[in-house]
Structure 1
Amino acid sequence: MISTDDWTPADSLILEPSAMTVVTSTEGCYALTAGPGAGKTEMLAQRADFLLRTQTCRYPKRILAISFKTDASGNLRDRVIKRCGHELATRFDSFTFHAFAKKIIDRFRLILTGHDALDSDYKIGEVRVHRKQITFGELVPFAISILESSDMVRNIIKNTYTDVFLDEFQDCTNLQYKLIKLAFLGTNARIVSVGDSKQRIMGWAGALEGVFKTYADDFSATPLRLYLNFRSKPRLLRLQNEIIRVLEPESVMPDGSFDGEEGEILIESFTDAQAEAVFLAGQIQNWLEVEHVPAHEVAILISKQVDLYAHCLMDELNRLNIPFRNEQQLQDLSSEPISQLLIDFLLCIYGEYEPKSWIELNEKISIFDDFDQSNVAFKIGSYIQKESKAYKQSKDHSNWWDNVYFLLEILETKRLIMLSPSYESIDHLSQLIIKLKQELESILSLESNLINALIRFSGDNAIRLLTIHKSKGLEFDTVIMMAVEKEIFFGKEYDERCAFFVGVSRAKRRLLLTHTDSRNRPPNSKRWSINRTPYDEFLSYCRLVQ
């Protein structure tokens, strides 16, 4: 243990004053807003380090972190482990809202009675089956019902967690906020919410308007703001500042805050989608082969409907043998712990030298050995050694799924469910494994080399195509934003402006925007406009700082 006065940020990082105030606070709640690239996740990891290493969160109390996406939850957990080590991090619980709700249901389901009663082996599925199955969307309402019914449950939660982190809080829905209020309003829990109202792009999913102010009023939270952006080059920061000038004038940084000419902003127009695709594929090939930009540092963002808008570009990328990942299909699946486990296992067998995969695989299976002293790590290691030797002799990877099946059999369900609370639904876990097999088979139909297919799936060496919504929390050296056109940004003006801000702020060094005069109707499209109109407002921000 160290004293609060002696604590310094892990890895000697320098935090701006507002961040340091939140990180080292020993009482009260905070509502922290910050722009993209301001290091919100890192700030939360540093706060966890402070709370645990100074015993401000005293043993056996715990810290609860709630995120909106599985990958964000895992990223925060990994950062906390990196900052304060595995032992202290065992008292850090990082969940999505639905995983937290399921934890409440699993522990206190007997409180549910009548129509809401659930058996101990209940599952999560597509439809509601009395006692046997609930839908994914019912997890939060069922948890709310438990908290509303039981003072005992609320007291148990209150006595478990001294601190709560709420990440990407601008996207909190009415029901999710109700869950937080029921669990922690009126307690001594120190709550830190972080987010950015300019990135509130989940309105379609019920994100609560003005949630930061509501939370600050309800929990007497102190509002603070982070301004520094550690991601983008000056020219890109000036672009973001111009959009902030319209979105939130009081948050505009003063002139001179982003001096320097580093960074590149390009606007390209085309007659049609085919000409756009040929140009972009050629540019990407040049970036990869001439500039040596890593493939995973290039992203193509589209407001919505990636399959429809990027089908010409994907054909061109395939023609040039440029690997890419359609994140609309793969991002959620590739971020699942079961997928990461199986991919690392296969890379250890078939890869030439995969130290990262070895380390991550050993970290996961060591948890299983601690669980039941079964020495599965030794058995898996021996199997990898045998299969790897056989592959080097035969160069035949046709049995790759047989090897996956061996791993699943030796680990068994009792261990696999330790990877994620959602895997307690065996149907859900089985569906993920089947979907992983289908996706890898699909990639192998385009890419015959298994290692390249595995890397393409994991995104380590592939261009990424994704919606703006899926890009939240990510960053890339080079970002292409396709179709900056009225016909795709057709929602509420403020919401679309926020979405555009999220997209451009993913770029660290280079941003390329495109629009076309026409886009032929792709197969399976429903609502589609062939003639196209550039979104002049969005493009004007870029022209101001080019």
Structure 2
Amino acid sequence: MDDQKTFNANQLAAAQWDRGPLLLLAGPGSGKTATLTARVARLVEQGRDESFRILCLTFTRKAAAEMRERLLKLVPEARDRVLLTTFHAFATDILRQHGSHFGLSPDFEILEEAERVGILKSVLEEKSDVLTRLVSAEKVLKAIDFLLRNVTPDANVSTLVKDAETGRQLQTLFVRYKEVLKERNCLDYGSILYCCEELLRQRPRLSAQLRTVYRYVCVDEFQDTNLVQYRLLRALVPDKDGNLFIVGDDDQIIYQWNGASPARVRQLEQDYELTTIQLPENYRCPPEVVELANALIMHNGDRAPHKKPLRSMKAGSGANPVELLAFEDDQKEAEGVAKHLATRLNDAVEPSDIAVLARSTKLLERVQVALSELSVRSHLQRRKSQFESAPLRFVTSALKLALVRSDDELAATVTKALSDCVDQDFSDDYLAQFSAALNGDQLEALGALMAESAAVPAELQTAISALVKGRYADFAKAALAYFDRVEHATEDNGKEQYTEYATERMLWQSIIREIGGEEEAYSLSLGQFLQELALANKTPEAPANSVRCLTIHGSKGLEFPHVYLIGLAEDQLPSFQSKKSGDESREMQEERRNCFVAITRTIETLTMSYGKRYNGWAKTPSRFLTEMGLMGPL
């Protein structure tokens, strides 16, 4: 294929890989996505007369959408031959088709965080006489997540807690929590994978059927997989010589808190007759940055054996692209970095070409304030799991109510969102009166309530009427068209309920595009549409004309011409917790990988900084500066 003419020898070998298990150890900026896409495109072209499909699993819908776009440019017929999706979306689809074995109907709900806490509270109340040591639903939720991602058998739960009685109570809670999910026809994010793995393990015929359909399986960003995801993979490709194409980099494992582990790469070698191809060539970073990255990461002992150092494929510019700044304290650091950055903007650099990275959000907040004082627009990314503006809260909660027709908590959420949208308070009691007259159908009651109120505009009344009649797409389009018009007319009035709407409306549109466009998205059943919404990332994109302020975790997979990495001091990067665990601990090695990931986001210049005091406490410069050779031993 034409795109392979520019490939180096390692990329070409991987792109032309045919059968059997392959591990592509691909360093940052190595062109791994182009290589993977070329390999998939070649398989589709060579198998034009065959009926097999290819499954490509990744970790974000955005990555899947971008890869799909690349692939379709190479091979348009790949649309019906390749499934490019995330682990969670794939598992959701399997459960939609086969969840009846667990008592789940296809339109099961995917819960948000607050709804999960609500269920745990109800279980704790239901079994208050037994669960005497588990009092905080929020704290228990973390334990539930751990049990789900580690596919913990019910019988083993009690052994994971030092105190025997607390362990027994956690086991009781875990079992009952899963029962309640199925009773209510809902799942949470973690139990989607947990239940799918259980289904494939208990129904080997289903696993065999999937293997017949998907002759080739590819996984991108393998280093981020946790145990339940790996178990899913093993169910799909159990044979030691299976057609499994793995792309990953053990030097970029920064999600150990979510179950990722360097041990998973070693497990691959035990489970498969694995061939490894390395992509050490780096096409992104200046040679000086590549040199720093190699010097840093060699201090980690828990790496793949015979790992090759990165090799820079870019010519040096002549000027040193690396700069280290020192400041008296964290406040001076924020102000100094902001001034340095503003000067760069005066040199015809676009704000979107610059990213400020840090280990913690707190440091980024200080930089954002300092940038604001210099009239530099910036965006601090904050992860969101649900829509927050009143209009989109109303639309999504009304859609959910349309699926179940009667749910007291959901009905209260809808009326609260409606009250915020139209500046009139609709009480739950008022809705309950209509509901009682309509045999408990709270959606129909909502329609009656809105039709009777003079505060509700005709456009919203028409929209809810369509929803009551089962036309959810007409409802969504009409309601959003009304809110668009109102937001446009009032954007200068600063109405609080619309402050997040414009950003979230663009996010809604991007989700619809990821699903496949309006025609495809709104042709889904209501249950499937809501599942797609629940799985979608609700974190807004940064405005085009702003400096990006990101945690290192948030920068994963991105690249920027100019990178600022701040807070390179002991107890910041590396963190206090990793120091407490020890110099050779897995936590310290992960902190080193965090630094490695951060500096390899760089395309042109890398500016690093540290303060001598943080929060009033004296700190020494980060050991990573010494390891990179930027400072002498401290």
TM-score (norm 1): 0.72
Q: Does 1:276 align with 2:333?
A: yes
Q: Determine if contact 2:282/2:312 at 8 Å carries over to the other structure.
A: no
Q: Determine if contact 1:299/1:476 at 8 Å carries over to the other structure.
A: yes
Which residue matches 1:510? 605
Which residue matches 1:327? 381
In 2: Cα distance, 1:267 partner to 1:469 partner: 22
Q: Determine if contact 1:236/1:508 at 8 Å carries over to the other structure.
A: no
In 2: Cα distance, 1:50 partner to 1:332 partner: 39
| Secondary structure class of the residue paired with 1:225 | strand
Q: CA deviation at 1:280?
A: 1.3
Q: Determine if contact 1:171/1:207 at 8 Å carries over to the other structure.
A: yes
Deviations 1:366-421 (A, max 9, x none): xxxxxxxxx99xx99xx89x98xx989x999989869969x99x999983585999
Which residue matches 1:123? 109
Select the structure of larger CA radius of gyration.
2
Q: CA deviation at 1:291?
A: 2.1
In 2: Cα distance, 1:14 partner to 1:102 partner: 38
Q: Determine if contact 1:484/1:535 at 8 Å carries over to the other structure.
A: yes
- Identical aligned pairs, as a percentage? 23
Q: Determine if contact 2:109/2:527 at 8 Å carries over to the other structure.
A: no
Q: Does 1:42 align with 2:99?
A: no
Q: Determine if contact 1:201/1:495 at 8 Å carries over to the other structure.
A: yes
In 1: Cα distance, 2:245 partner to 2:311 partner: 31
1:101-250 to 2 correspondences below 5 Å: 101-112=91-102, 117-125=103-111, 126=116, 127=119, 128=177, 129=180, 130-132=182-184, 133-186=186-239, 189-247=242-300, 250=306
Return the letter of the residue paired with 2:41.
D
Counterpart of 1:480 (choices 553, 560, 564) is 564
Counterpart of 1:95 (choices 85, 93, 105) is 85
Which residue matches 1:425? 531
Deviations 1:479-507 (A, max 9, x none): 11110112122322211111111111111
| Secondary structure class of the residue paired with 2:333 | helix
Q: Determine if contact 2:329/2:614 at 8 Å carries over to the other structure.
A: yes
Return the letter of the residue paired with 2:249.
D
Which residue matches 1:347? none
Number of equivalent positions? 453
1:450-465 to 2 correspondences below 5 Å: 457-465=541-549
- Compared CA separation, residues 29 and 295, structure 1 to 2 (3 A): same
Q: Does 1:54 align with 2:46?
A: yes
Q: Determine if contact 1:391/1:397 at 8 Å carries over to the other structure.
A: no
Return the letter of the residue paired with 2:286.
K
Deviations 1:230-273 (A, max 9, x none): 10111112112222433358435499987744551111111122
Q: CA deviation at 1:177?
A: 0.7
In 2: Cα distance, 1:277 partner to 1:419 partner: 50
Which residue matches 1:313? 367
Return the letter of the residue paired with 1:124.
I
| Secondary structure class of the residue paired with 1:81 | helix
Q: Determine if contact 2:281/2:312 at 8 Å carries over to the other structure.
A: no
- Compared CA separation, residues 331 and 513, structure 1 to 2 (3 A): farther
Q: Determine if contact 2:555/2:598 at 8 Å carries over to the other structure.
A: yes
Deviations 1:412-436 (A, max 9, x none): 998358599984338838xx79x78
Q: Determine if contact 1:267/1:513 at 8 Å carries over to the other structure.
A: yes
- Compared CA separation, residues 332 and 514, structure 1 to 2 (3 A): farther
- Compared CA separation, residues 314 and 486, structure 1 to 2 (3 A): same
Which residue matches 2:620? 533
Which residue matches 1:82? 73
Which residue matches 2:348? 292
1:64-79 to 2 correspondences below 5 Å: 64-79=55-70
Q: CA deviation at 1:45?
A: 1.1
Q: CA deviation at 1:542?
A: 4.9
- Compared CA separation, residues 426 and 227, structure 1 to 2 (3 A): closer
In 1: Cα distance, 2:333 partner to 2:545 partner: 23
Return the letter of the residue paired with 1:77.
R
Counterpart of 2:22 (choices 23, 30, 33) is 30
Return the letter of the residue paired with 1:131.
E
In 2: Cα distance, 1:463 partner to 1:49 partner: 36
| Secondary structure class of the residue paired with 1:425 | helix
Gaps spanning 5+ residues in structure 1: where?
1-6, 339-374, 440-456, 522-529
Return the letter of the residue paired with 2:68.
R
| Secondary structure class of the residue paired with 2:6 | coil
1:4-19 to 2 correspondences below 5 Å: 7-9=1-3, 13-19=5-11
Q: CA deviation at 1:544?
A: 7.4
Q: CA deviation at 1:328?
A: 3.1
TM-score (norm 2): 0.63
Return the letter of the residue paired with 1:161.
Y
| Secondary structure class of the residue paired with 1:26 | coil
Return the letter of the residue paired with 2:30.
A
Which residue matches 1:251? 307
CA RMSD of aligned residues (A): 4.1
| Secondary structure class of the residue paired with 2:613 | coil
Return the letter of the residue paired with 1:329.
R
- Compared CA separation, residues 151 and 250, structure 1 to 2 (3 A): closer
Which residue matches 1:356? none
In 1: Cα distance, 2:50 partner to 2:558 partner: 34
Greater shift, 507-516 or 420-429, is seen at: 420-429
Deviations 1:37-96 (A, max 9, x none): 00111111111211112227x5432211111233322222222223323x3233221222
Q: Determine if contact 2:355/2:564 at 8 Å carries over to the other structure.
A: yes
